[in-house]
Structure 1
Amino acid sequence: MIRHRRPAAVLCLLALLAASGCLFRPADRPAPKAVKPPKKPNIVFVLTDDLSWNLIAHMPQVVRMQRDGLTFTDFIMADSLCCTSRATIFTGRYPHNTGVRTNFPPDGGYEVFKDKGGEQASFAPSLQKAGYRTALLGKYMNGYQPNDTQGDTKPYVPPGWDEWHVSGNGYPEYNYNLNENGRLVHYGTRPQDYLTDVLANKGIEFVQRSGASGQPFFMEIATFAPHGPFVPAPRHASLFGGLKAPRPPSFNEADIRDKPSWLRSHPQLRRWGIGRIDEGFRDRVRMVQSVDEMVGRIRTALKERGLDRDTYLVFGSDNGFHLGEHRLAGGKMTAFDTDIRVPYIVVGPGVPAGREVRELAQNTDLAPTFQELAGVRPPATTDGRSLVPFLLGAAPAGWRESALVEHVKPPPSPLDPDRQDSAPGSPTTYNAIRTRDMLYVEYSGGETEYYDRARDPHELNNIAAGLPEQRRRHLSDLLYALTHCTGSGCTPAGRSR
């Protein structure tokens, strides 16, 4: 249930927990001594769209990144939805503080992000002010149109970006426009117009120019891949012919009587539906081959110019994707791990090779990470914390034990071409707490979910009905604290269990 408790009572609870030592979890291992990052290192951020963990095994260059660098195994999205996630990535703020709650107006989308000051609050202007040359390539925010002039005579480029090569509807990978530094350029249907490849080429060119200049740079390449309609590059279209979607225990779940009402209405998948899921998974694997090649090309370009010694490469996704789990066909927006837990992998100077971080990280942490690497102090409104200590081999004290997930189900919108956000059978509005060993969800209609992830990692058995009342009230209070936290106040709330 999404309830409204008195903040004073919750603060008292947090104070008592801190005094009793319950806010701090003993370290799983001794914290190694951290090394120092290079002064003003370069940063390359590859942000994919709807990329789930089950695709990584089919991406050899990303697997190589895991061997060479650091993998966050519990990286949780504050909302498994494109625009809300990206608003959080840019600002370091939870959705309840960005004001971007959906993909489209009146509660979300590009216009809401801009109107609420998201562009000025983004990390980009602060990096630019610190002397970085900044570039954004690919996808920006849902609802952005590359021909938008904002009252000017040429297409608009948001503040903080020196180079801007951004599309609006690049999902089909062909027949799209790019706003290229204020100039509208159309790309058609030739094989060389495949959007992921165009972004890769432009990214390599930016690295080459920036490396020659000696100026530190930040580049974000935000692919539309592997978002639907799942169009792979021609050279990959016939690969993986016999591949099927993974069949975890949650696939086409046999008994969902314990699930919330929005999910209980889903019938078991039939043979033709499972066949379509297998086909979709094959195309998603085919689609990420071009992304994987791009990662390899970027690493090669950095190494050839000696820039790899001073460059952090971050690979991740805006949200996950379910494909057959819990009887759900392709989609996201749930609080299940398929949707909220995403890959984040980092290589760079001082990053320990082959190491995994099990502590909970969130997309709120990306903006302060980029800012700390650039020597910029994150603003007080930042809800997340920098991941730099992890990148340099340390385990910061007092790290969060609870990740917040919040989702608002939007009303039907003509701007949503697939009607997925508000379709019947999609999740209703909810807030959730995810820790390493449990998931607790409260829905706006009063229903709850609780999964013991230590015993039930696939989230099959909702045991919320059997929770002791004291435990349930404790979790509900913590959830209230997280959904109302701002800035540094989010740190103690996230440490409470």
Structure 2
Amino acid sequence: MLIRTVLLCLLSLVAAGGDGNGNGNGKSNGNGKSNGKGHGKQPGRKPNIVLIITDDQDAGTHTREIMPRLFDRLVDNGVNYENFFTPVSLCCPSRVSLLRTQAAHNHNITNVELPHGGWVKFNNAGYVNHTMPDFLQAAGYNTYYVGKYMNDQTDKNCVDLPVSGFNASDMLVDPYTYDYWKPGFSVNNGPVEIHENTYSNDIVAQKGLAHLDSALASDRPFFVGFAPIGPHSYMNSTLRLSGSGRLYMDTPEWPERHDHMFKDAKLERTESFNPDEPMGVSWVKTLPKLNESNVEYLDEFYRGRLRSLQSVDEMVGQIFDKLEAAGALDNTYVIYTADNGFALGTHRRQPGKTLAFEEDIKVPLAIRGPGMPKGITDKVSSYGIVDLSRTFLDIAGAKPDYENDGTKINLHLGEGKLADKQYSKHRHSLTEFWVRGIEEGKFVDASYRENNTYRTLRVHDQVDGKPVTYSYHVWCTGERELYNLVSDPYQVRNILAPLNELGKFPAFDAGDVLDAQTQRVLHRLDALTLVLKTCKGQSCVEPYTTLFPSGKVNTLKDAMNRRYDEYFAALPKVHFDFCMLGYQSRLEQPEWKDELAFK
């Protein structure tokens, strides 16, 4: 019996193409096809991972009415995460955080093009061959990707600067990335192939499903990434090629089959929508009230976004159909998310992102996978894209070759009290920005806005036995914002507005304009920002352990103990010397030092 068991084990290893640890080489054979053979449903192998990542989709469009297939097939059969955030409200830096499992201040890809970001800078930084898909391959995974990968990957450099980490790939490249009817793809790092009069989201689905077929045909576990451009703004590739005029982005486009949908849809007229009085700080507080024509255009823009998401929703259904038909669904994690959010009309804004408001930084996250409960919403934890990348690595048993900044997302697998205690600590998220603000649409006079550098801390916890959600922003202009999102979900009442008017920062001499409890909260949020703005590795995951090495303080709830009042008040306060493009650490003082920790 023992001999028979050993033989069966050896046969299983040979069939899997592994090395005894579940690892295959995961490399392409040069023709874009997998080296393995099989049907994708071998018992006992590592779980598969399917990622669907949209472009510029805010959490407000993550609803059953807008995306019924997504909710029927994924959300109702998995976990919906209510507090999930982008590390940078701009696509390229956010996607680099996914690829590198790093906060933006650590990878320092902070824009969509040189000198501060884009595919060329990513290459110059030496990041190629050191990305999440590379590490998945090293752990025995076959990996595939289709759609938008990174800005400034162009028809001119896609061959000379090849993408690493995929058995096969179809990458949208500039200037065709955002042209809904003329997408251009670099196939397996080859020269651009342009698809005239073909709807971009549909061809991403077609190509991605073909990659999924290849993945299912192998005995190895797989990662397949689907990255449609919907609901990103439309950018005409011909105009981009001509180099004429300013950056111009207009209403997203959709195929004819969706013409009839959302004809009466309008943006919600919330407290923050086109208010009578200006709000915010920096350039936002200078915005004029929108006129009637502008508001009508914003509603039209919104309808375009919803229609462009319908082909994405159809793709979700097709992915699940294929996984079910192959018998692979029970061993596959399917993840739906977006790179950053998007705003329309709130705080008098034109279409766009790049700010620190909830609509810019809060994005969908839904996960369905083996052992996960069905139809629950995680309202307690707070995670970001860096944590999603870390979760992929942990699922695959993959190891990066540098220190990463993420934590595994709670998949609610019932892993026991120790895991639950660890998850309970993660109730914060950091969003950073160091380049110009961007406005979109036909009512924009100039696309770019200066003085748009800030750090934003988002904390979801308890204070005095009550749930609180704070959004705290430190700006390069010296201004600050603090919103209590429980009482002010639309961020129209900046608690720190009186201090901005008096120029009280960064000394926090606020006794005459702020109540004592607000000051106590403010000191703690600023201390957390002080740690996180230069955090690396575990200090990004457990910043309170940096402040309190004894481990006695793990959350804002713990930190609000009055015995720590003097300590937090005495800590130096986060500030910028002045506004300058790019991450300039010398301008963002002070930096955390270990001697500042609580003794």
Range of TM-score over shorter length: 0.7 to 0.9
Deviation at 1:272, TM superposition (A): 0.5
Q: Does 1:345 align with 2:353?
A: no
In the other structure, the counterpart of 1:102 is 111
In the other structure, the counterpart of 2:536 is 486
Is residue 442–residue 448 contact of structure 1 (8 Å, CA) maintained in 2?
yes
The gaps in structure 2 that reach 5 residues or longer are 1-42, 235-251, 461-468, 500-512, 545-553, 557-599
Tell me the SS of whatever aligns to 1:435.
strand
Alignment of structure 1 residues 280-319 onto 2, 5 Å: 280-319=301-340
Q: Percent identity?
A: 31
Is residue 478–residue 496 contact of structure 1 (8 Å, CA) maintained in 2?
no
Q: Does 1:41 align with 2:25?
A: no
CA offset digits 1:442-487 (Å, max 9, x no partner) = 1011100011112111111001135455543432222121011111
Alignment of structure 1 residues 77-476 onto 2, 5 Å: 77-148=86-157, 151=160, 156-168=161-173, 169-184=176-191, 186-190=193-197, 193-229=198-234, 230-256=252-278, 259-358=280-379, 359-378=381-400, 381-387=403-409, 389-394=410-415, 396-398=420-422, 399-410=425-436, 423=447, 425=449, 428-436=452-460, 437-464=469-496, 465=499, 466-467=513-514, 468=516, 469-476=519-526
Cα distance in structure 2, aligned partners of 1:427 and 1:128? 41
Tell me the SS of whatever aligns to 2:297.
helix
Cα distance in structure 2, aligned partners of 1:474 and 1:288? 40
Cα distance in structure 1, aligned partners of 2:437 and 2:261? 39
Cα distance in structure 1, aligned partners of 2:209 and 2:360? 31
Cα distance in structure 2, aligned partners of 1:232 and 1:206? 24
Cα distance in structure 2, aligned partners of 1:160 and 1:352? 31
Cα distance in structure 1, aligned partners of 2:117 and 2:378? 32
Is residue 77–residue 85 contact of structure 1 (8 Å, CA) maintained in 2?
yes
Is residue 368–residue 378 contact of structure 1 (8 Å, CA) maintained in 2?
no
Structure 1 pair 276–419 and aligned structure 2 pair: CA distance change class (3 A):
closer
Structure 1 pair 477–419 and aligned structure 2 pair: CA distance change class (3 A):
farther
Structure-2-length-normalised TM-score: 0.71
Deviation at 1:215, TM superposition (A): 1.8
Tell me the SS of whatever aligns to 1:134.
strand
Deviation at 1:206, TM superposition (A): 1.6
Q: Which has the larger radius of gyration?
A: 2
Is residue 263–residue 427 contact of structure 1 (8 Å, CA) maintained in 2?
no
CA offset digits 1:255-307 (Å, max 9, x no partner) = 335x2132111111111011000000111111000000000000000001101
Structure 1 pair 41–458 and aligned structure 2 pair: CA distance change class (3 A):
same
Structure 1 pair 357–427 and aligned structure 2 pair: CA distance change class (3 A):
farther
CA offset digits 1:129-172 (Å, max 9, x no partner) = 11111111011111111452564xxxx53221111101113212
Deviation at 1:249, TM superposition (A): 2.2
Tell me the SS of whatever aligns to 1:121.
coil
- The residue identity in structure 2 corresponding to 1:281 is Y
Is residue 148–residue 172 contact of structure 2 (8 Å, CA) maintained in 1?
yes
Cα distance in structure 2, aligned partners of 1:393 and 1:245? 39
Structure 1 pair 234–187 and aligned structure 2 pair: CA distance change class (3 A):
farther
Cα distance in structure 2, aligned partners of 1:252 and 1:149? 42
In the other structure, the counterpart of 2:582 is none
Is residue 451–residue 477 contact of structure 2 (8 Å, CA) maintained in 1?
no
Is residue 451–residue 476 contact of structure 2 (8 Å, CA) maintained in 1?
no
Cα distance in structure 1, aligned partners of 2:474 and 2:387? 24
Cα distance in structure 2, aligned partners of 1:473 and 1:240? 46
Cα distance in structure 2, aligned partners of 1:282 and 1:411? 24
Aligned length: 450
Cα distance in structure 2, aligned partners of 1:382 and 1:220? 21
Structure 1 pair 427–350 and aligned structure 2 pair: CA distance change class (3 A):
farther
Deviation at 1:179, TM superposition (A): 0.9
In the other structure, the counterpart of 1:12 is none
Structure 1 pair 54–159 and aligned structure 2 pair: CA distance change class (3 A):
same
Cα distance in structure 2, aligned partners of 1:432 and 1:439? 7
Tell me the SS of whatever aligns to 1:397.
helix
- The residue identity in structure 2 corresponding to 1:199 is V
Deviation at 1:90, TM superposition (A): 0.9
Deviation at 1:425, TM superposition (A): 4.9
- The residue identity in structure 2 corresponding to 1:431 is R
Cα distance in structure 1, aligned partners of 2:450 and 2:199? 32
The gaps in structure 1 that reach 5 residues or longer are 1-36
Once the two structures are overlaid, the 10-residue window that deviates more, 159-168 or 243-252, is 243-252
Structure 1 pair 332–411 and aligned structure 2 pair: CA distance change class (3 A):
closer
Deviation at 1:117, TM superposition (A): 2.6
Deviation at 1:496, TM superposition (A): 4.9
Deviation at 1:103, TM superposition (A): 1.5
Cα distance in structure 2, aligned partners of 1:254 and 1:337? 20
Structure-1-length-normalised TM-score: 0.85
- The residue identity in structure 1 corresponding to 2:149 is Y
Tell me the SS of whatever aligns to 2:83.
strand
Cα distance in structure 1, aligned partners of 2:331 and 2:291? 52
Is residue 436–residue 450 contact of structure 2 (8 Å, CA) maintained in 1?
no
Once the two structures are overlaid, the 10-residue window that deviates more, 294-303 or 156-165, is 156-165
